A = this chain, B = another copy of it.
Amino acid sequence: MTGRRDDVRRALSTTDGFRSAQDIYADLRAAGSRIGLTTVYRALQVLSDSGEVDVLRTDEGEAVYRACRTDEHHHHLVCRVCGRTVEIEGPAVEKWAEAIGAEHGFRDVTHTVEVFGTCSNH
């Protein structure tokens, strides 16, 4: 029965970009699944808690999810047209954030970085 979790995981894996819970729900239903929207949300919550998927917020406030290839801390370069995503690393940014924080007397510094652009297919 926990196959539902796998359904969600699979739906996420089949695409390259970030998808919203509603997108995933629509896809699964379109594919014939009888899954409920609630279950999609619950699965996404579990998956993101366990670090299996990454979550971020669109400017419209919608949460979007993506299956990540690595557990490491990393950032994303997202195509604003098709949602295609490239996982990127930026040692320079990590250091910069740390330094900026320290400079202003902040401790336990964390950061969020997202890069958007229009990819070569558009």
Contact = CB atoms under 8 A, between A and B. Distances in A.
A46 interface: no
A109 B104 contact: no
A108 B115 CA distance: 10
A69 interface: no
Interface residues of A, number: 33
Interface stretch (A9-17, A32-40, A95-103): A95-103
A98 to B, nearest CB: 9
Contacts of A111: 113-116
Interface in A24-58: 57
Contact of A97 (B61, B63, B115): B115
